[in-house]
Every structure is written in structure tokens, then in C-alpha cells.
Amino acid sequence: MHIVGQFRDEDRTDRFVWLRGFPDMSSRRAALGAFYGGPVWKAHREAANATMQDSDNVLLLRPVRADTGLEHPGSPRPHGDAAILPTSRVEVTLAFLKAPADARLHGFFEQRLRPVLRDLGAAPQGLFQTEPAENTFPALPVRTGEHVLAWLTVFPSAERHQSHREQRARSTAWTEQVLPGLAPALCAPLEHLTLVPTLRSQLR
């Protein structure tokens, strides 16, 4: 089990977000079973659960292609004595779809959406979609009945992220090409999460 990152949601301070990665679904079952059945979780689960208002808001995703996942292992995770919070921001964009993402939507992303974001200085560092396989660890519920395309971008600072958001809002390529091109596939507006890495988040 790879703990990719832990974050606080800048717009919802009661929300704690983390990303976990697994090589495949069978590895996921084995790793989660070992953790939640192990001594560390058993010793701390009551205290941990008491801090959670909702632990079922889980999206099960997979990279669209092998080259759209996040770099692994990536930068080393900070040591336990880390004391300086990162100044970076991670934006996750969730596109909720009427149907599973297909080759046509993937092509639109690569040919139209990604170049616009790159020109705006915010090239996505990961592209994911809903994993259709059955949840192999039902003790940890995941959201079902949804089709999601998600991309992730890292900004060096809150100021750079805010500047990008303002540029994106003013960009005619974004508002007149990308958004109308996405609209037929969407069942809800795009959702943008602004995430603040924690002290020991590997992704930062």
C-alpha cells in the first residue's frame, strides 16, 4: 500500500483527504486486510474513527493509461519530525460523467483539454477514471453508481494556484472550447478541490 498523500481541503476545513495506491485490486484486498486486521489499527481505531464524520466518501479510481498515473515512488516522504508545512497546493478536478469515460473522451482530454491547461501553466500530473471492478474490500465502502474522470495538478504555492484559477476563468480557450466540449459528457458541473498537503504528505 502506497500512501500517496494526505491533505486538508482548503475550502472545507473539516475534510481530510488522502490518496492511497495499490498495484492491482488483489493487492488492495491483501494490503487493506493486513492493515485493518493488524495491531496498529486495532489499538487506535476508536480514537481514529472518533475524528471522522464521514469515512465512506471514497472514490475507487485507476490511471486512464499506464503513463497517466502519478510518479512512483516519487520524492521521499518527510520524516516523522517534519515541522514545516508545505506551501504548495494540489488541485483535483472531478468530472462526473453520464457514462464511463471512453476513447472519445480520452482523446478530447489529450487533444484539447490538456494543451489548454498546459498553456495556462497547469499541466495535469495524473489522469484517472473510475475503476469498474468490484470493491475487493467491502469493509471499506466506496461510492458506486458514478462515473468519474479526475485529474490532478500541483502548484508551488497558494498564490500560483489562485493566479491559475483567475487565468483559467478568463481564458476563452477554457470557457468557449473546453467547457462546451466537455458538457455533453457531464452530469454535473466540474468539481475542483483545493488540497493543502500535510507535514508528511509525499505528494506536495
* Position 13, amino acid: T
Q: 141 vs 32, 60, 123, 144, 204, CA distance in Å?
A: 12, 10, 32, 9, 27
Beta strands in 22-173 (DSSP E): 61-63, 89-97, 126-130, 147-155
Report domain extents, the chain: 2-197
pLDDT tens, position by position, 134-172? 999 999 999 999 999 999 999 999 999 999 999 999 999
Q: Check if the beta carbon of residue 201 is closer than 8 Å to that of residue 74.
A: no
pTM for this predicted structure: 0.93
pLDDT for 73? 64
In the structure grid, which three cell numbers stand for residue 107, read together? 482523446
d(CA 69, CA 62): 8
For the beta sheet containing 191-197, the strands, ordered from the edge strand earlier in sequence to the opposite edge, are: 12-21, 2-9, 191-197, 89-97, 147-155, 126-130, 61-63
pLDDT tens, position by position, 25-37? 999 999 999 999 9
36-50, 61-75, 88-102, 124-138: lowest mean pLDDT where? 61-75
pLDDT tens, position by position, 69-123? 998 766 777 777 777 889 999 999 999 999 999 999 999 999 999 999 999 999 9
| Torsion angles phi and psi, residue 162, rounded to 5 | -65, -40
| Torsion angles phi and psi, residue 190, rounded to 5 | -60, 140
Average pLDDT, the chain: 95
The β-bridge partners of 95 are 149
In the structure grid, which three cell numbers stand for residue 175, read together? 470557457
Q: Check if the beta carbon of residue 66 is closer than 8 Å to that of residue 128.
A: no
**Domain covering 2-197 in this structure, CATH number:** 3.30.70.100
d(CA 147, CA 150): 10
Q: Check if the beta carbon of residue 70 is closer than 8 Å to that of residue 90.
A: no
pLDDT tens, position by position, 4-22? 999 999 999 889 999 999 9
pLDDT band at 51 (very low <50, low <70, confident <90, very high): confident
Is cis: bond before 63, omega within 30 of 0? no
Please give the average per-residue pLDDT across 169-179, as a whole number: 98
In the structure grid, which three cell numbers stand for residue 169, read together? 476563468
pLDDT band at 52 (very low <50, low <70, confident <90, very high): confident
